Amino acid sequence: MNYQENTFDELNDFEDELEWADATAPDPSPKQEIENIFTPTIKRNNEFNLLESGYYEFKVAKCDCENLSATATRSGSPIARLRLEIINDEANVVINHILFINSYNNKEIYEFFSSIGLAVEDEFIPQWDKVKGRTGGCHLIQKRLDFKTVNAVDRFISQN
């Protein structure tokens, strides 16, 4: 027996199993199928809360480092995706912030690490694995997008 015969036999077995499954499965009504697909239960996840511009404390809930793939208009670059939970009595606010890891953004990277207490000297090596769970301070602004206004980090505030 060669490889082609095995593949053909396996294909026949698979087709036999499909026929058996089709024959034994109950026939759903077309109306029921459409209702199940187009009428799922939808719940509103979270209410959107817009904060006034100003100083806020935050906790780093998540930090994922990855490489952005290159496109026709930009080269690939390493980034850190931060999820910051704003510590606030008025509302539960989460800010997603991206740090591009390159020499152009050294100031912002330094300010971020200084705000969470991991940069105590002028030169340091960022330890991204120690970021999660740390707290710090930032200045938030209201940023106008095409479809709505959102909160965005304007700058990180050093603990020093």
* Cβ partners under 8 Å of residue 139, min gap 6: 53, 54, 55, 56, 153, 154, 155, 156, 157
**In whole angstroms, what separates CA 122 from the centre of its chain?**
30
Per-residue pLDDT of 134-148, as tens digits, reads 999 999 999 998 988
The pLDDT of residue 33 is 60
Q: What is the pLDDT of residue 11?
A: 45
Q: How far is CA 80 from CA 74, 97, 141, 145, in A?
A: 17, 8, 21, 22
pLDDT tens digits, residue range 70-86? 776 777 789 999 999 99
Model confidence pTM above 0.85: no
Spatial strand order of the sheet with 135-144 comes to 93-100, 77-87, 54-68, 135-144, 149-157
